Structure 1
Amino acid sequence: MKRPLARDVALALGWIAAYVAAGAFAVKAVAEPDDVALYWPASGIALAGAMRYGARWVVLVPLAQLLVQAFAPVPAAFLPFSLLSNAVGAWLGATWAGRQGRPTVMHQVTRLPVAGLLMAVTGATVGTFGMWLAHMVPADRLADAWLRWMFGDLLGVVSVAPAVLLLLDARERPQAIDPGPGSEAERQVWNIALVASFLLMAWGATEAPKYVLGLTSLPLAIMLWSALRFSALRTATSVLLTVGLVGMLAGYGLAGFRPPARTLEAVILLVYLSLLATMPGVLAMAMRAQRASARSLERRATTDPLTGLPNRAGFEAKAATLLADPASSSMALVYLDLDNLKLINDTATHAAGDALIAEVATALRGQVTARDLLGHYGADEFIVLLNGCSITAARERAQALLRAVEHCQCEFGDQRLSTTASIGLVPFQPNEMSLAEVLSQADAACFTAKEQGGNRVALGGSLAGALTDATSEMRWTLRIRQALKADDSFQLYAQSIVPLAAATAGYRFELLLRLRDPNGGALHTPDKFLPAATRFGLSARIDRKVVDTALACLEAHPEAASQVAICAINLSGHALADESFIGYLVQRVRRSPVAPQRLCFEITETSAVRDMARAQRVVGELRGLGCQFALDDFGTGLCSFNYLRALDVDCFKIDGSFVRDMDQSPLALEVVRSITRIAHVLHKSTIAEHTETPAQRDALAGLGVDFAQGYLFDRPRPLAAFLAEAAAATSDSGG
């Protein structure tokens, strides 16, 4: 982008004025017209301008140098060399520094020492040659003049050019300034310390002139402090002021400083001042690079590369800051999940899905204000924190986000992609809920919106009573996942299955699952946690835990296990559909010393009917090992009697709801009777669940039910205790 002509003219005039002022400052310190200036800061201005705006700017150097001669006229024979020395040197230095294209200001500053050395050597060669031709310096002093000229130019470059380059960059790109970690109060203290170091240096030089250079350690310490804590521009400016002050005092012979009389003295002084100027600058640029690298790593860690939005970590960090702000008022959290993105990924490739996500991010950006916070939470999920938003306004804005997604279209190849979204919305007060709680409720609300068909907003939090269950299920899911990793969180209890007619050999019992609360140690029954396990696909993992624990317990009590006729273990519908679980179950039964005939796996009729062919295969495979099967909750399905011949089970478990209602409901009594008759026709046995009274037991026996289970006979107790009692009873009987 080209700068306006007026701006270029103003910039050129300002640059010439700075050069002339720097040149006049230097030539005023020259004792004799034929002497070489001790310190030439104008060379730093010349090189900085050429590096920043291109080598063509060196054409201004002869004009500026001509104006400098008004303060110190030179012989006519030397004038062309005086005009060209800085110009040629700046051109060569800038050409070398920019040989790899126009670098950043950081790279320009790091290249200054080499570019300055090239400029100084060239300028000194041209200038001293001109002085020799103009008879300003004899041949035997030519080397001395060259050394003074070269080191004077080099000091001018390393002390002035960094400040000029950084100042020009800050003028054009204020947002690029790195202020450093120092506070405003620390900056004020630093300003006072720098001025104090100058005053102490001047006073000390007057009182002890022999050790005058040692006093420069005072401003050096202040400059190093700046390099560590403040911007590189502040450090470069302090270097310019410090070197300029010392150069002025030495050149003019003020405050105890005296001009160097011999060339060696001048070279030592100039080399020392060059190092004094270089060290803080190098440290400042290194600290700036380190902070830039840290910011880059932080951005990479907290920014999603696909959308440019804060990722999960970045969003939560910024949201925590907003929530902690005392000025924050009513807020609302929007949890947005794109509908059917998996279908787009599968049919149009993941690249198409990524393109659509990027377009959706752009659409969402157009719907948020400066006070809001938008993030890409991962995959197809976005999250928005609406700040200072009432409940009514939050609903309207959530609907606007929904419409923005619906109207968003992405061109990918010859395809036009679009999608809809499901939104969970949770209005809240910052001081009443933590971010984790709000996120959990918003996620649950979003899940509900998706289950209801998608492309809608579901309200969560205290205003959505129905969603409390969903949030509770998510909490149960976390508990279940923790319990699966522990050894003793899931507990197995046993309840007897008692024969109602003739006595049978061996013990029959069903295993019942309990979940121990990690906080209070209370035991939770399956009705509290199994719905969450089913919803979030954890049932098969729980079944695996139950089977392994049950067989391990039986294997640990071989004497009691030998007296077991039936150990009934429930299997979920997810377990039946999980090929890896069935493979595990078969292998676990095969390698167990417990006889497979003692194991009876219970499956519900609803899970069996869902995939009859698979259920038949699983039942057949395990029955081939010798295991038995029972059909649990029988009678509650819609087509119970249509598949009994196809599904080869050993027992029907009559649902407890019919058993409890037999006394008051003729229909329940008839259902129990019918199930028992059908079972006997098919040569199956029956078990009545939830038998709790003697009247129920007698009625079941009268109907021909084979077995019963319930509180009338015993209450569930830990499996290990149950087996220990069985072993003790067997021992007593044998005795």
Structure 2
Amino acid sequence: MSNAYRPVATFLVLVGLYLAGIAYADFLARGPNDFALFWPAAGVAFAASVRYGLRWVLLIPAAALAGLAIRPSVPLVYQAISTIGDTLATLLGAWIARRDRVPAYPQFRSAFRMLVGAIVTALVGAAIGAVAMLSAGNLGTFSVPEAFLRWSMGNLLGITAIAPAIVLFSYRNTQLSAFDAGEKSARQLEQSLWNIALVLSFLLLGWGASTEGRYPLGMSSLPLSVMVWGALRFEPLRTAVAVALTVLLIGSFAGIGLPGIALPADTFDSAMLLSYLCMVSILPITLALVVNEGRIATRKLLRRATTDPLTGLPNRVAFETTVRRALTDPVAPPLALCYVDLDHIKLVNDTASHAAGDCLIVGVAGILRGSLQPGDALAHLGGDEFALLLHNATPTIARDRTQALVRTIEAYRGQWEGRMLTTTASMGVVPFQAGEAEFASLLSQADAACYTAKEQGGNRVCVAGAMPGDVLDRTVAMRWAVRIREALDKRAFSLYAQTMTPLHAGLDTGRHFEILLRMHDRKTGQHLTPNHFMPAAERFRLGVPIDRMVVDMTLGWLESHPEHAATVTTCAINLSGEAMVDEGFIGYVAERLRRSAFPASRICLEITETSAVRDLGRAQRCIDQLRALGCRFSLDDFGTGFCSFSYLRSLDVDYFKIDGSFVREMQTVPLSAAVVRSITQIAHVLDKKTIAEHTENEGLIRTLTELGVDFGQGYAIDKPQPLDDYFAKPFIAPSFAAPADRLRA
């Protein structure tokens, strides 16, 4: 039906219900001067005015005009006054019920206001109605107080029995429900049993009313019990309809004149019966609303706990529940788990704002939501990451769908304060069958595949299994990262030292050594060298935490052993590439050195050539800040970078540490010897010292000495030893005799 005609149709339906209520009340009355047991029409008018607005009270005069044809025996004066009275009473009562904001769904508080409004409607309508009957001479044997009492009680029962069902029926399609579709489906059997129980209670009530037993009205407790069951288990509409049917049924039995439930003979009996029926109509619906309000509050909390506030999508908790349910489905079709990570979203956050980044994330969420097919699931895992569960997705279908999504996201243009926002996405896909995997494993594989796609440049899809080597490397690195974090938490690292010995006279002859790191392997008991764990540490940004720990452990050891620290001339500590651009790390080192008793001038920080070349400006700022405290610097792996000599003047370092690949090949590759000679000569021109790594034999020591290299470091001189063992040996200063003699010493 068109929305333009819906209010008209609703109005006509309500007018029809109002007239039906009048006809039903006339059926219950025993004559023109008698009172109906209750007035259902009052409930229709009150419900319409409360639900749709005060102007809907006009259905009362509209129905009264239509009712002139079906009630010709009723005096016009009486009809006019009673219609005016009902209209004014309903208007006042509905205004009271609507005085505060009308809730999105009836609640206990709004129901209480409706009850107050119903009482006011009943009292005002009864007062005007009694006056109308007195004016028309229709009081008969009743006094004005009796007429007022019967009228008010009849109106109140009509409102409490009929109005809730009409109001709740109008909310039947509301989005705010205490049950989702799955719960409603699961309750179908219980609902069917409830329907059967309600019908049986009506049949038993009818049987009791047809007998001349002493307490047939007590059998109304049967439908009351069923209504309480419904109030506790189902939505309030079901209880409200049961209430209306129960009251109408009891009224009908009384109107028919069944011996068990006869119409009351006097005003007192009427008051008792109407009071009982009001209780029957009020209590179940009140209970239903209270219970339903609790359900809705619980569901809101659950949705809040399982919904991402930014995108409105399910969060990781809800997604995990969905995937686990799919994993246990024995008839599930081929499935695929997709991990989505937006590329360069940090660039948007930094250049536009975090609000702009959020806007872009919401836009991408809309794209992903629009791509869903029946059975699919989507979640926002947080930040710029999403997850998709694809149904009926073979590996080929999963790849095609995700590649189409990558293209769609690339083409997306978001608007933010006049600026165009764009992004791309990296996706990792894991095809699987139900029962063949666990959620944690699937998500880990999808994450690894996604990271592989990102490392390959982003804006692409990586299907786990199609590129097993890359994904396996990523998975292994992730496991190493976990082990490294655990080792950092427990400080499961040891410090080793290796000597850097002077090769010429005139150089400082104190202890020159480099700090080397080892990680404890709990399973094997081994001490792992950095080549095992540092690639993963740098890949997952754990280099700076490791550097912090090494600096602290080194200074802590030297501070606690001042007798050994006094023999140290140079203590070299390696820094990762991340540390050079991390302001927090530089500040930490500066603060740690300021409160250390060990002189900063004896600390030499080693930075790799490649990390320095990556950002010369930031590298030099780092050097300047720490050199101001007295630290020295060494350029590690020198000679491996592109056009190394071109930036030597830009980096204020003290040592060039010649890359070991050149040193090892000096005796067999003339070019390597020439490179070592050139580096040494340029270093001396710049007033810097050189250190040769991987000095593995006596011949290399002799050659390095002849070339003028200042320091040698390698197994031919000294092997790495635990720091305690290294200092436990007495220090012997180099004699600068023949190389063989120096080694024997």
- TM > 0.5 fold call: yes
C-alpha separation in 1, matches of 2:588 and 2:712: 31
**Do the aligned residues in 2 keep the contact of 1:20 with 1:67 (CA within 8 Å)?**
no
**Do the aligned residues in 1 keep the contact of 2:543 with 2:578 (CA within 8 Å)?**
yes
Q: AA paired with 1:457?
A: R
Report what 1:428 is aligned to: 431
Question: In structure 2, do the counterparts of structure 1 residues 412 and 707 end up closer, same or farther at CA, with 3 Å as the change threshold?
Answer: closer
C-alpha separation in 2, matches of 1:362 and 1:615: 42
Match 1:570 to one of 574, 578, 582: 574
Question: In structure 2, do the counterparts of structure 1 residues 264 and 554 end up closer, same or farther at CA, with 3 Å as the change threshold?
Answer: farther
C-alpha separation in 2, matches of 1:396 and 1:293: 42
Report what 1:41 is aligned to: 40
Report what 1:395 is aligned to: 399
C-alpha separation in 1, matches of 2:560 and 2:418: 66
Report what 1:579 is aligned to: 583
Report what 1:457 is aligned to: 460
Three-state SS of the structure 2 residue aligned to 1:631 is strand
Q: CA deviation at 1:568?
A: 2.0
> Residues 86-97 of structure 1: matches in 2 within 5 Å?
86-94=86-94, 97=97
Three-state SS of the structure 2 residue aligned to 1:42 is helix
Match 2:671 to one of 667, 673, 694: 667
Match 2:278 to one of 239, 251, 274: 274
Question: In structure 2, do the counterparts of structure 1 residues 660 and 285 end up closer, same or farther at CA, with 3 Å as the change threshold?
Answer: same
Report what 1:540 is aligned to: 544
Q: AA paired with 2:189?
A: A
C-alpha separation in 2, matches of 1:626 and 1:97: 80
> Residues 431-510 of structure 1: matches in 2 within 5 Å?
431=434, 432-450=436-454, 452-454=456-458, 456-464=459-467, 465-484=469-488, 486-498=489-501, 507-510=511-514
C-alpha separation in 2, matches of 1:410 and 1:459: 26
Report what 2:658 is aligned to: 654
Q: Does 262-271 or 645-654 show the bigger shift?
A: 645-654
Report what 1:184 is aligned to: 188
Question: In structure 2, do the counterparts of structure 1 residues 93 and 626 end up closer, same or farther at CA, with 3 Å as the change threshold?
Answer: closer
Deviations 1:123-180 (A, max 9, x none): 322332232233332697210121111011101111111112222443xx37666558
**Normalised TM-score (structure 1):** 0.83
**Normalised TM-score (structure 2):** 0.82
C-alpha separation in 2, matches of 1:403 and 1:608: 37
C-alpha separation in 2, matches of 1:615 and 1:342: 23
Three-state SS of the structure 1 residue aligned to 2:143 is helix
Three-state SS of the structure 2 residue aligned to 1:466 is helix
**Do the aligned residues in 2 keep the contact of 1:406 with 1:421 (CA within 8 Å)?**
yes
C-alpha separation in 2, matches of 1:176 and 1:218: 31
Q: AA paired with 2:545?
A: R
**Do the aligned residues in 2 keep the contact of 1:499 with 1:706 (CA within 8 Å)?**
yes
Q: CA deviation at 1:230?
A: 0.3
Match 2:556 to one of 542, 552, 556: 552
Q: AA paired with 2:143?
A: R
Q: 5+ residue gaps in structure 1?
A: 731-735
Q: 5+ residue gaps in structure 2?
A: 734-745
Q: AA paired with 1:547?
A: V
Three-state SS of the structure 2 residue aligned to 1:463 is coil
**Do the aligned residues in 2 keep the contact of 1:232 with 1:284 (CA within 8 Å)?**
yes
Question: In structure 2, do the counterparts of structure 1 residues 237 and 695 end up closer, same or farther at CA, with 3 Å as the change threshold?
Answer: same
Three-state SS of the structure 1 residue aligned to 2:240 is helix
Q: AA paired with 1:491?
A: S
Q: CA deviation at 1:104?
A: 4.6
Match 1:136 to one of 135, 138, 160: 138
Q: CA deviation at 1:491?
A: 3.2
**Do the aligned residues in 2 keep the contact of 1:448 with 1:458 (CA within 8 Å)?**
no
Question: In structure 2, do the counterparts of structure 1 residues 40 and 647 end up closer, same or farther at CA, with 3 Å as the change threshold?
Answer: closer
C-alpha separation in 2, matches of 1:238 and 1:716: 87
Q: Does 86-95 or 531-540 show the bigger shift?
A: 86-95
Q: Does 234-243 or 182-191 show the bigger shift?
A: 182-191
C-alpha separation in 1, matches of 2:654 and 2:329: 66
**Do the aligned residues in 2 keep the contact of 1:444 with 1:467 (CA within 8 Å)?**
yes
Three-state SS of the structure 1 residue aligned to 2:426 is strand
Report what 1:145 is aligned to: 147
> Residues 118-517 of structure 1: matches in 2 within 5 Å?
118-137=120-139, 141-170=143-172, 173=173, 178-179=178-179, 183-195=187-199, 197=201, 216-248=220-252, 254=258, 256-257=260-261, 259-304=263-308, 307-338=311-342, 355-410=359-414, 417=420, 419-431=422-434, 432-450=436-454, 452-454=456-458, 456-464=459-467, 465-484=469-488, 486-498=489-501, 507-516=511-520
Q: AA paired with 1:35?
A: D
Question: In structure 2, do the counterparts of structure 1 residues 200 and 317 end up closer, same or farther at CA, with 3 Å as the change threshold?
Answer: same
Q: AA paired with 1:239?
A: V
What value does the CA root-mean-square deviation take over the aligned residues?
4.2
Question: In structure 2, do the counterparts of structure 1 residues 607 and 292 end up closer, same or farther at CA, with 3 Å as the change threshold?
Answer: same
**Do the aligned residues in 1 keep the contact of 2:695 with 2:713 (CA within 8 Å)?**
yes
Q: Does 284-293 or 492-501 show the bigger shift?
A: 492-501
Q: AA paired with 1:121?
A: L
**Do the aligned residues in 2 keep the contact of 1:58 with 1:91 (CA within 8 Å)?**
no
Q: AA paired with 1:143?
A: P
Q: CA deviation at 1:600?
A: 2.6
Q: Does 76-85 or 563-572 show the bigger shift?
A: 76-85
C-alpha separation in 2, matches of 1:175 and 1:351: 29
Deviations 1:437-469 (A, max 9, x none): 444454455555555555x31314221233433
Deviations 1:284-320 (A, max 9, x none): 2233333334444444454455554445555444444
C-alpha separation in 2, matches of 1:430 and 1:159: 55
C-alpha separation in 1, matches of 2:682 and 2:13: 106
> Residues 622-701 of structure 1: matches in 2 within 5 Å?
622-623=626-627, 625-641=629-645, 647=651, 649-676=653-680, 685-693=689-697, 696=700, 700=704
Deviations 1:262-295 (A, max 9, x none): 4334323323322332122122223333333444
**Do the aligned residues in 1 keep the contact of 2:640 with 2:659 (CA within 8 Å)?**
yes
Question: In structure 2, do the counterparts of structure 1 residues 624 and 2 end up closer, same or farther at CA, with 3 Å as the change threshold?
Answer: closer
Question: In structure 2, do the counterparts of structure 1 residues 343 and 662 end up closer, same or farther at CA, with 3 Å as the change threshold?
Answer: closer
C-alpha separation in 1, matches of 2:528 and 2:682: 36
C-alpha separation in 2, matches of 1:267 and 1:215: 19
For this pair of structures, how many residues does the alignment match? 721
Question: In structure 2, do the counterparts of structure 1 residues 602 and 121 end up closer, same or farther at CA, with 3 Å as the change threshold?
Answer: same
**Do the aligned residues in 2 keep the contact of 1:50 with 1:57 (CA within 8 Å)?**
no
**Do the aligned residues in 1 keep the contact of 2:19 with 2:63 (CA within 8 Å)?**
no
C-alpha separation in 2, matches of 1:262 and 1:710: 117
**Do the aligned residues in 2 keep the contact of 1:41 with 1:153 (CA within 8 Å)?**
yes
Q: AA paired with 2:432?
A: Q
Question: In structure 2, do the counterparts of structure 1 residues 555 and 452 end up closer, same or farther at CA, with 3 Å as the change threshold?
Answer: same
**Do the aligned residues in 1 keep the contact of 2:14 with 2:59 (CA within 8 Å)?**
no
